[in-house]
């Protein structure tokens, strides 16, 4: 018998369920309990970068918006640097930007929004340039293990065309499922996205 390796096994995932708001966004469940709450607003007045709104829906296999879904985003700052000790890239850190937020979908419309900044292009540790993107994590009733995907930006065509992750996607038509569309609305920059859980336009999800 060789020596045992003795690794532990990851704890199994379970659905977040329909009442995920109680734990993660109690105000949406209908009550006020914590002094400090996490939210869908990632920016403070002193955060550096272009203010943007991310706005989207998650659709089930019939095209119906999920109205009990919870999304989290994780992104680099305007200089392309993550607020985390493992990121030792050259971009300037921004203490006014954690880079993380969470949002529940509206119980009627299913709309999800984040108020954030557009991240900068990222230089990976191998020196690769990666197009600006936002990492997305999706949980809900009926989702047994959180879904990972990314949002890229429609006005970054050249960077997107060279992005190593987008280029991993075999079918160019499926790359489009990760591109959020830029528009301007009442002076605000809005990037719109749709996550399709199933169907011919199913969003690309990653096994990270």
Partner 1 sequence: MNAQAPALRDPRLNRPEPLTPPLGDGGFFQRDRAIHPPAHAPGYKSSVLRSPRQSLLSLENSISEITGPVFGHNDLGPLDNDLIRNYAKDGDPVGERIIVHGRVLDETGRGVPNTLVEFWQANAGGRYRHKKDTYLAPIDPNFGGCGRALTDDTGYYYFRTVKPGPYPWRNYVNSWRPAHIHFSVFGSGFAQRLITQMYFEGDPLIPVCPILTTIPDKDALDRLVAPLDLNASTPFDSLAYRFDIVLRGQRSTYFENRTAGN
How many of the chain's residues bind partner 1 (CB under 8 A)? 78
CA distance 64 to 154: 24
Which stretch in 18-26, 49-57, 152-160, 186-194 sits in contact with partner 1 by CB under 8 A? 18-26
- Integer CA distances (angstroms), 163 to 45, 128, 134, 160, 186, in order: 31, 9, 13, 5, 31
Q: CB-wise, 111 or 168, nearer to partner 1?
A: 168
Choose, by CB under 8 A, the member of 43, 117, 131, 197 that binds partner 1: 197
Binding mask 144-163 for partner 1 (x = CB under 8 A): xxxxx-x-------------
Total residue length of the chain: 208
Residues 6+ apart with CB under 8 A from 147: 137, 138, 139, 197, 205
Residue 1, interface with partner 1 (CB under 8 A)? no
Q: Tell the smallest beta-carbon distance from residue 47 to partner 1 (Å).
A: 15
Closest residue by Cα to residue 122 from 110, 111, 131 = 131
Binding mask 55-94 for partner 1 (x = CB under 8 A): -----xxx---x-x---x-x-x-----xxxxxx-x-----
CA distance 106 to 83: 29
Q: CB-wise, 40 or 135, nearer to partner 1?
A: 135
Q: CB-wise, 167 or 183, nearer to partner 1?
A: 167
Q: Tell the smallest beta-carbon distance from residue 83 to partner 1 (Å).
A: 7
Residue 172, interface with partner 1 (CB under 8 A)? no
Choose, by CB under 8 A, the member of 48, 113, 141, 189 that binds partner 1: 141
Residues 6+ apart with CB under 8 A from 120: 49, 76, 77, 78, 79, 80, 81, 91, 132
């Amino acid at each position: 018998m060789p020596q045992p390796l003795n690794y532990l096994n990851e704890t199994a995932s379970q659905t977040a369920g329909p009442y995920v708001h109680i734990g993660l966004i109690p105000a949406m469940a209908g009550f006020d309990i914590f002094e400090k709450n996490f939210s869908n607003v990632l920016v403070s007045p002193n955060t550096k970068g272009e203010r943007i709104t991310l706005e989207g829906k998650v659709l089930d296999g019939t095209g119906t918006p999920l109205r009990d879904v919870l999304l989290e985003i994780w992104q680099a700052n305007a200089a392309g640097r993550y607020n985390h000790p493992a990121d030792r890239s050259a971009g300037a850190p921004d203490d006014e930007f954690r880079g993380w937020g969470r949002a529940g979908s509206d119980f009627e419309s299913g709309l999800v929004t984040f108020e954030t900044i557009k991240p900068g292009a990222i230089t990976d540790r191998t020196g690769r340039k990666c197009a600006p993107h936002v990492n997305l994590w999706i949980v809900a009733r009926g989702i047994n293990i959180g879904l990972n995907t990314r949002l890229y930006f429609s006005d970054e065509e050249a960077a997107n065309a060279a992005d190593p992750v987008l280029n991993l996607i075999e079918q160019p038509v499926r790359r489009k499922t990760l591109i959020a569309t830029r528009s301007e609305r009442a002076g605000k920059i809005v990037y719109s996205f749709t996550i399709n859980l199933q169907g011919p336009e199913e969003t690309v999800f990653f096994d990270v």
